[in-house]
């Protein structure tokens, strides 16, 4: 299904209409997404990788629609940068006839590689930029190596998932954090966890253990150092899930990476104190996000 949207943009005293088109694409049975095109021809395209949990290609979840990744794609298109955003396998388990026990973090990497290859080989884009949001940042680091012209991390964690969870739980109890670290250690060494305390079943549910193990083998600080392409690291100061410290730690791993801390930006890329809404009544993206990404991409 095609969707045409017309946006009125103001540049000084001049007015112009920018048009973009969303096309639903099925690359293979695993990778279904949306190709966002501008009306002008371009040789630059981005793969937008969503974050963890139930977030879909647009950044929405069953509990809360915010359309942040859809807005990001449309913002880039208005600046003549095409993009492809897609749903992860996690959201299509029933359709694919698989369970969480069958999932691996490597599946997420494979699907992102499929998206990059599609833009390059099937659509013939000359410059491919990988944009990863939250969990997608780690996926993007791995995928971008030897495949992309540039990499953008948005709200990306700096630590392995085991340490990230432990740090979050340490705010409740140091003992809880230590128990979590011990459970991850047991999982790495024995491929399972014999006894899971009731207060940790939400994290270490049996059907999710192998995915956690496959995820935890990747360290963002190590993966980002493997990249020899331009890197932009972006995090908001009002992000309740990923702190500016994460961005600073990633930046410390790569001296020539660009670091951008956006004042008052939340995890869903909105401006914390902003009240402006779009035509659908949703809060707009942080006003500095798309211009910063556009500048970085156009200068590659």
pLDDT digits (tens, 9 = 90+) for 220-274: 999 999 999 999 999 999 999 999 999 999 999 999 999 999 999 999 999 987 7
Q: Which residues of 174-183 are buried (b: 16+ CB within 10 A; e: fewer)?
A: eebbebbbeb
192 and 73 in a common domain: no
Count the neighbouring beta carbons within 10 Å of the beta carbon of residue 157: 25
Mean pLDDT, rounded, for 200-213 = 94
Mean pLDDT, rounded, for 108-118 = 98
151 pLDDT above the threshold of 90 = yes
Mean pLDDT, rounded, for 111-135 = 98
Any idea which residue has 């299509």 for tokens? Answer: 92
Residue 85 has a pLDDT of 98
Count the neighbouring beta carbons within 10 Å of the beta carbon of residue 61: 15
233 and 175 in a common domain: no
CA distances from 269 to 67, 74, 94, 143 (A): 10, 14, 30, 23
96 and 236 in a common domain: yes
Where residue 12 sits, what CATH number does that domain have?
3.40.50.1820
Query: Which of 61, 56, 65, 57 has the alpha carbon at shortest distance from 85?
Result: 57
Residue 275 has a pLDDT of 76
Identify the H or E element spanning 82: strand 82-86
Residue 2 has a pLDDT of 37
Per the structure, the count of domains in the chain is: 2
181 and 150 in a common domain: no
- Distance between CA 100 and CA 57 in Å, rounded? 19
118 and 61 in a common domain: yes
53 and 18 in a common domain: yes
Residue 14 has a pLDDT of 32
In the listed set 216, 233, 251, which residue is the last one of a domain according to the structure?
Answer: 216
Confidence of residue 214 (pLDDT cuts 50, 70, 90): very high
168 and 108 in a common domain: no
Confidence of residue 19 (pLDDT cuts 50, 70, 90): confident
End-to-end CA distance of the chain: 32
235 and 112 in a common domain: yes
Confidence of residue 203 (pLDDT cuts 50, 70, 90): very high
Phi, then psi, of 259 in degrees rounded to 5: -115, 130
What does R_g of the chain's alpha carbons equal in angstroms? 19
- Distance between CA 86 and CA 48 in Å, rounded? 8
174 and 152 in a common domain: no
Neighbour-count burial of 281, counting CB atoms closer than 10 A to its CB (0-12 exposed, 13-18 middle, 19+ buried):
exposed
In the listed set 216, 251, 280, which residue is the last one of a domain according to the structure?
Answer: 216
Domain span including residue 247: 2-160+218-298
Confidence of residue 64 (pLDDT cuts 50, 70, 90): confident
135 and 230 in a common domain: yes
Any idea which residue has 């009306």 for tokens? Answer: 39
125 and 233 in a common domain: yes
Q: Please state the length of the chain.
A: 300
93 and 27 in a common domain: yes
4 pLDDT above the threshold of 70 = no
């Amino acid at each position: 299904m095609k969707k045409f949207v017309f946006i009125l943009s103001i540049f000084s005293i001049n007015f112009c209409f920018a048009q973009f088109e969303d096309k639903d694409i099925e690359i293979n049975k695993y990778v279904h997404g949306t190709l966002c095109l501008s009306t002008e021809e371009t040789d630059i395209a981005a793969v937008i990788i969503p974050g963890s949990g139930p977030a879909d290609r647009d950044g929405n979840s069953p509990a809360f629609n915010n359309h942040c990744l859809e807005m990001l794609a449309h913002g880039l298109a208005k600046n003549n940068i095409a993009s492809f955003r897609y749903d992860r396998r996690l959201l299509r388990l029933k359709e694919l006839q698989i369970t969480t026990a069958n999932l691996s973090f490597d599946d997420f990497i494979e699907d992102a590689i499929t998206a990059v290859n599609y833009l390059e080989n099937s659509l013939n884009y000359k410059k491919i930029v990988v944009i990863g949001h939250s969990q997608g940042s780690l996926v993007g680091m791995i995928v971008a190596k030897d495949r992309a012209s540039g990499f953008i991390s948005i709200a990306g964690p700096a630590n392995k998932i085991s340490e990230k969870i432990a740090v979050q739980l340490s705010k409740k109890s140091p003992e809880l954090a230590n128990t979590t670290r011990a459970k991850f250690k047991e999982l790495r060494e024995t491929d399972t966890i014999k006894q899971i305390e009731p207060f940790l079943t939400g994290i270490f549910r049996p059907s999710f253990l192998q995915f956690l193990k496959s995820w935890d083998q990747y360290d963002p600080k190590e993966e980002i150092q493997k990249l020899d392409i331009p890197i932009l690291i972006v995090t908001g100061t009002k992000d309740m899930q990923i702190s500016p410290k994460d961005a600073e730690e990633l930046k410390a791993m790569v001296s020539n990476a660009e670091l951008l801390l956006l004042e008052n930006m939340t995890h869903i890329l909105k401006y914390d104190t902003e009240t402006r809404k779009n035509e659908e009544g949703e809060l707009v993206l942080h006003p500095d996000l798309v211009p910063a990404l556009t500048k970085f991409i156009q200068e590659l």
